[in-house]
Chains A and B, each alone.
Chain A
Amino acid sequence: MKIVTGNDLKTGAVVWWDGEGWSKYVNSAADVGAGGEAIIAREEGARRVFAAYVIDGERNADGVRPSHIKERIRALGPTVRMDLSLKPGDPDASNWVI
């Protein structure tokens, strides 16, 4: 699947295009097919996000998994500070990154 990700302009937070808006959860990411660049142009123009780009990923039984480790770390948070990640209560969450 093709996923659009970027950063919230005001906060810098990592966000994922969910088909209607921006979510901080990668599991909400929509498959944008070939429409990614158009979404980016529209959303950056509206100043909702910046530094947006299209990445590869896959949807499996556990949810959406970006193909590259860098994007998985963006999706989760720093693996060395799980308390600051999106899954602070899951001690094994960092294994998902690898």
Chain B
Amino acid sequence: MYKYDQYDQQMVDTRVEEFRDQVRRRLDGSLTEDQFRPLRLQNGLYLQLHAYMLRVAVPYGTLNSQQMTLLGDIADKYDRGYGHFTTRQNIQYNWIKLEETPDILADLATVEMHAIQTSGNCIRNISSDQYAGAAADEIVDPRPYAELLRQWSSFHPEFLTLPRKFKIAVIASETDRAAMKLHDIGIQMVRNAAGEIGARFFVGGGMGRTPMIGPMIRDFVPLDQLVTYCEACLRVYNRYGRRDNKYKARIKILVHELGKDEYTRQVEEEFAHLLTQDIEPPLAELERIKAHFVDPPFEAGASDDLDLSDPDFRLWVERNCAPHKQAGYIVATVSLKPVGGIPGDATSDQIRLMAKLARDYSFDELRVTHAQNIVFPHVRKADLYAVWKALDEAGLGTANLDMVGDIIACPGLDYCSLANARSIPVAQKISERFGSAEKQAEIGELKLKISGCINACGHHHAGHIGILGVDKKGTENYQLLFGGSEGADTSLGQITGPGFDEEGIVAAVETTTNVYLRERQQGERFLDTYRRIGMAPFKEALYG
């Protein structure tokens, strides 16, 4: 994985000392809260419902064991013994003290980490496929391109005060595991007819209060024009994006209002101009970055055999593991969704255990997924049982990936100052109701996602079943959506009808799955059945 050069390290170290001085000035009264607020947000420090919250960037979700260990240590030293992995592949801590924040950032800098680009109207931390570099179906590792864009976007002076925040995802396979089309810019690395690698651009996607699927605006951008094309996309947005209305300020609104063709025309015009300015980094820089992402030293001839005589292990392998590009290896996902647990939360001990297992069994690498799980990307099949045993003993062996228990949920009103309703208790109750292996096996793949407000951090628009918490005259109410998807077949969920209270929404999910089990045809997932039969049978069961 990428290693900082002297410029990266100096940039992060300088930022730590700059923020230390800003905190000092806030505490001595030299800075008012109005003056300090944008400065702390630029360093990932929010004020949430109970305390300051620090969001730490995990670029394209990739971590090494040293970094992961430190994330666990920070949870103990500065927080309350746990961290929350987010739907942006980051981690956040909920009980941070302002005066200790510079020390946390200094600790992070020792392992090449920071909290930059996790807040504010800038280009946010770039996300990617959690199986990058390991997936059997990728055409290339997308992370060097994500890293190139990270370097381009970090402190880019022109894009530090965009109309709104800006999110980019980079993938390199037809199976979209990063919700790429639901980003401001989604980039799919592709191979053209001549066999060359390039980038396909989707622009103007997003969730939030106005969910949209990003349309493709360019089928192929050559590698030596990748940064320039991104710059053109951003420039048009920065120039014409709505600054007068926060709720219409995302690029998706601009693309929608201009129309895809007119937005594309303007981007192409800007792109042609920028090509004359020679802003693209030399390909040698991309090659330098790529050198950090070479395959680990896989054991040639490693055995593909797996002893599946332990039925619990067999279930976990079937549910949580994915094919690896290298024979004898496998991609293993650690579910942070135990039955009745808090989605995405992990204790400091669990975090350090995952770090140790990655060091010993996954070439020192881990990934954070946007579904709030952790991936060991390169596990030798011969080691997989030992990995699972260690995970299981620590409460991390749940076999439910992409099942109804693998719920994405934002922190909701239990932690978030923007939320209107609690997400986590709903997730816990659904998880408990559908928690048995038998029930989950009966239902099959079902991606359920819960947001506690319209900002959609819980990706409810993209859930096969989505749940949106709203405030209904001071009480929590939950809308139900069907038909969302974030994969190659990206679609947006549709609201079923009137909302439910907390108990009612759990019962409604059960009613929904009962209709599905009654109506499904051979081999159909819930999403397939819904797409075939439509909303009516479900509405009939839910509302009579």
Residues of B within 8 A of A50 (CB): 33, 47
Known: A7-B47, A73-B414. A12 touches B33 (CB 8 A): no
CB pair A51 B424 closer than 8 Å? no
For residue B79, give the distance in angstroms from its CB to the closest CB of chain A.
10
Q: Which residues B87-128 have CB closer than 8 A to chain A?
A: 94-99
CA distance A1 to B291 in the complex (A): 65
**Segment among B10-18, B48-56, B208-216, B301-309 that sits at the interface with chain A:** B48-56
Known: A12-B51, A14-B50, A77-B50. A70 touches B413 (CB 8 A): yes
Q: Classify the secondary structure of B's interface with A.
A: mixed
Contact of B47 among A12, A44, A77 (CB under 8 A): A12
B342 at interface, CB cutoff 8 A: yes
B487 at interface, CB cutoff 8 A: no
Residues of A within 8 A of B428 (CB): 80
Known: A69-B413, A73-B413. A10 touches B50 (CB 8 A): no
Q: Which residues B425-466 have CB closer than 8 A to chain A?
A: 425, 428
B380 at interface, CB cutoff 8 A: no
Known: A69-B475, A79-B425. A12 touches B98 (CB 8 A): yes
Closest A residue to B101 by CB, please name it: A12
Residues of B within 8 A of A81 (CB): 342, 414
CA distance A74 to B422 in the complex (A): 13
Contact of B27 among A9, A44, A80 (CB under 8 A): A9
B476 at interface, CB cutoff 8 A: yes
Closest A residue to B420 by CB, please name it: A70
A84 at interface, CB cutoff 8 A: yes
CB pair A51 B50 closer than 8 Å? no
Q: Which residues A16-64 have CB closer than 8 A to chain B?
A: 44, 47, 50-51
A68 at interface, CB cutoff 8 A: yes
CB pair B51 A11 closer than 8 Å? yes
Q: How large is the interface on A (under 10, 10 to 19, 20 to 34, 35 or more residues)?
A: 20 to 34
Residues of B within 8 A of A7 (CB): 47, 51
CA distance A18 to B255 in the complex (A): 51
Residues of B within 8 A of A67 (CB): 474
Contact of A79 among B29, B99, B414, B474 (CB under 8 A): B414
B415 at interface, CB cutoff 8 A: yes
For residue A97, give the distance in angstroms from its CB to the closest CB of chain B.
9
B265 at interface, CB cutoff 8 A: no
CA distance A79 to B423 in the complex (A): 11
Contact of B33 among A11, A13, A44 (CB under 8 A): A44
CB pair A13 B51 closer than 8 Å? yes
CB pair B96 A10 closer than 8 Å? no
CA distance A77 to B94 in the complex (A): 11
Known: A80-B414, A80-B424. A47 touches B51 (CB 8 A): no
Known: A44-B33, A47-B27, A78-B415. A73 touches B49 (CB 8 A): yes
CB pair A47 B29 closer than 8 Å? yes
Closest A residue to B33 by CB, please name it: A50
For residue B325, give the distance in angstroms from its CB to the closest CB of chain A.
39
CA distance A83 to B519 in the complex (A): 43
For residue A30, give the distance in angstroms from its CB to the closest CB of chain B.
21
CB pair A80 B476 closer than 8 Å? no
CA distance A50 to B475 in the complex (A): 27
CA distance A82 to B445 in the complex (A): 32
Closest B residue to A78 by CB, please name it: B414
Residues of A within 8 A of B425 (CB): 79-80
Residues of B within 8 A of A68 (CB): 474
CB pair A74 B414 closer than 8 Å? no
CB pair B97 A12 closer than 8 Å? yes
Residues of A within 8 A of B27 (CB): 9-10, 47
Besides A12-B50, A47-B27, A73-B413, 12 other A-B contacts (C-beta < 8 A): A7-B51, A10-B98, A11-B52, A13-B51, A44-B33, A69-B475, A73-B49, A74-B50, A78-B50, A78-B415, A80-B414, A80-B424
Across the A-B interface, give the 7 residue pairs with the lowest CB-CB distance, nearest first.
Answer: A12-B52, A12-B51, A78-B414, A50-B33, A80-B424, A11-B97, A10-B99
18 pairs of residues in contact across A and B, judged by CB atoms under 8 Å: A10-B98, A12-B98, A13-B51, A14-B50, A14-B51, A50-B47, A67-B474, A69-B474, A70-B413, A73-B414, A74-B50, A77-B50, A78-B94, A79-B422, A79-B425, A80-B342, A80-B428, A84-B95
